[in-house]
Every structure is written in C-alpha cells, then in structure tokens.
Chains A and B, each alone.
Chain A
Amino acid sequence: MTAKVVTITSGKGGVGKTTATANIAVALAAAGERVVCLDGDIGLRNLDVVMGLENRIVYDLVDVVEGRARLRQAMIKDKRLPELYLIPAAQTRDKASVSPSDMIKVCNDLRPEFDWVLIDSPAGIERGFRNVVAPADLVLIVTNPDVSAVRDADRIVGLIEAEEKGPGQLILNRVKIEMVKRGDMLSTEDVLDVLAIPLIGIIPEDENILVSSNRGAPAAMDDKSRAGQAFRNIARRLKGEEVPFMSLEDNKGFLQKLAARLAPRPNRSGG
C-alpha cells in the first residue's frame, strides 16, 4: 500500500489552507485512514497550533532533511485519533532550507506507511510553493469567493499545469449563503465558470472554525459544525466516494427559521 500525496495550496494567504489541511486530515483519520500531515510553511509554522499539537514538538522537517532526526522522531502522534501524525515545519529557518527533491524524498519515505500524506503550503508562488508541489499526486486549491483570492487561485492553476500536476481541484471556502442569495457574493457556479477546474468542496462560513482553532481541535471533530461536515464530505470524495454537493440554500420559511433559532442547535449540513 502506498500513500497518495495531496498538497493544499492557494496563492493568496489567509484563505484557509491550514484550516483545510487540518480538517481534511482529521476527517480522513476519523474514517480509519492512516494520515500524516506535513507543514510546508517553513519559517511560519501554524499547522501545529491549529491541530493542537504545538506543545509536543521536538524535531521538525528541517531536522529530518538535514539529518539531525529520523523521520519517526519528527512525527507527532495525535492521540485523539488512531492514525494521525504531524511533521511540523521549522520555525526559525527559511524556505531555502528545503529543496523540492528533499520534499520528494521525505514523501517517498512516508508513502509505504500511510494512506495519505497531506502537505500544507506557504502563501505565494516562490520557492516554498515549488517545494510543496514537487511531491504532489494531487493539488487542492483553496479560495474564497472574492476577486483577489480567485485571481490568485487562477495563477496557481496555471503554475500547477505548468508543473504537470494539474489541473487541481477546488475548495471554495468561507461561503456566506445569505450574501450569495442577495447577489453580493460570487456563487460556486460563478467561481467555477471563472476558474474552470473541478470542485471538491464548498465550505460555508462557520464561527466554529475560529472556536476550533482557539481550542486546537479541528471542526471536523465536531459533528454539529457545518464547516466540519463539509470537510468530512471532502475526505469522502478524496476516498473516491460520490458525495453530492449539498445545497447551501436553506429553503426554510419564516416560521421554520424562527423555530430553528429557538431550538438549541440546528443541524444543518454544508457542501
């Protein structure tokens, strides 16, 4: 058995790459898959805090690449799930400490022991981007429905195609259903028209994401989180399941909305 290497990237910063990586990893691991996450954002590591593993770091990716630690020593086990590991980025080094061929080697060493290697990317299209794309079997592109994020995503699509890793699949993150309905936010269809790449998930805007980052427990662990549900759907699609994209519309009438507001927690699902 050999792992599939999936790189999560975006071009623009702050669109939710790290959140997406952590949540997809948790969702895959919760479904019984063997998962290792690699933080490719050297110098600005964050995947560790989002996953809640920051206090357990001893060695990092650069220690492995430079031979100060064995791969196993740098792998932090997430004890909440059966088979989920993190290899953190170095915090005090820069992107140039790792080369694309180093990344390919690390991933090849991980492949026999896992089902999935998920790589979180740095923002931008420079050295760090080439590092994380080099070992990828599949690239997921995260964007938000705003003009700057979509424009940068398009640039990434072009670069991925140039590296023959394309076309990549799209995660549309932070969709505000109410704004889309008013015509004040690009819809999923709009973004797909513009970018012309396959869609793998739509994540609704959800306050649980910030709450879960605060706690270091990704929203995909929470059955009630809409965004968490949407990330679990992405995990199922990665595994090859046909999961319909659930409509983000809620067609409830006024009374039902009122009832839902009075009820403790409406269990709505996302895409």
Chain B
Amino acid sequence: MSNFFERLLGRGPREASAHTAKERLQLVLIHDRTDLPPAVMDILKDEIIEAISKHVDIDRAGVEINLTQTRRENRLVANIPLLDAPGGGRKRRR
C-alpha cells in the first residue's frame, strides 16, 4: 500500500536508516571491542606488509587486513597475495 503511494508520488524507495545504523554499529563495535581504532589498523597494515616483504615478494596493492567478528569473538584476518619468485619457481597459473 505505502509502496503504491510512494510510486504514485514519484518517490523512490528510501534507504532504510535502520540498515545504515546496523552497519555503522557493527563496524564501530569491532573497533571498540578490540581497542583498535581504524587509524591504528592502517599503521598495522603497513607494518605487516613491511615485515612480510622482507622475506617474500607480495602484491602490496592486493593486501587485505580486516577485523571480523563471529558472535562476540573478534579476529584479525589477513589476505596477502604472494608474487612469483623472479626467474626461479613455477609459472603462475591464471
């Protein structure tokens, strides 16, 4: 019924603010719970990249480091793509 009137009045469906609230809460709470603010995460990411780069070539642009949560357990999840060793190793399959 309300959708019908919204269409009649030419109003598109508005982004529900509750959805925005939930997303923002989930993000802020991960940082609250771990006492790890977003800015510190950026520093952490740079330092992890540096540390790993000393030993192996990585695709720096492809590095993803995120805080995730399941129930009340928080985790730091890193996805770090490695590059082929120059010369040596086997060809990377695409």
Contact = CB atoms under 8 A, between A and B. Distances in A.
A150 B21 CA distance: 10
A177 B72 CA distance: 28
A96 interface: no
A196 B71 contact: yes
Contacts of A154: 29, 32-33
A50 to B, nearest CB: 29
Given A154-B33, A158-B33, A184 B17 contact: yes
Contact of B22 (A161, A167, A182, A193): A193
Residue of A180, A183, A193 with most chain B CB atoms under a 10 A cut-off: A183
Contact of B25 (A157, A182, A185, A194): A194
Contacts of A147: 21, 24-25
A207 interface: no
A185 B33 CA distance: 24
Contacts of B19: 183
B39 interface: no
Nearest to A167: B72
Nearest to B73: A196
A147 B71 CA distance: 18
12 contacts: A154-B29, A167-B72, A183-B18, A185-B18, A186-B18, A186-B21, A186-B25, A187-B18, A190-B21, A193-B22, A193-B26, A194-B25
A151 interface: yes
A128 to B, nearest CB: 21
Interface string A136-163: 0000000000110011001101100100
Give 4 nearest A-B pairs by CB, closest first. Answer: A183-B16, A196-B71, A190-B22, A184-B17
A194 B26 contact: yes
B6 to A, nearest CB: 11
Contacts of B26: 193-194
Contacts of A167: 72
B28 interface: yes
A234 to B, nearest CB: 23
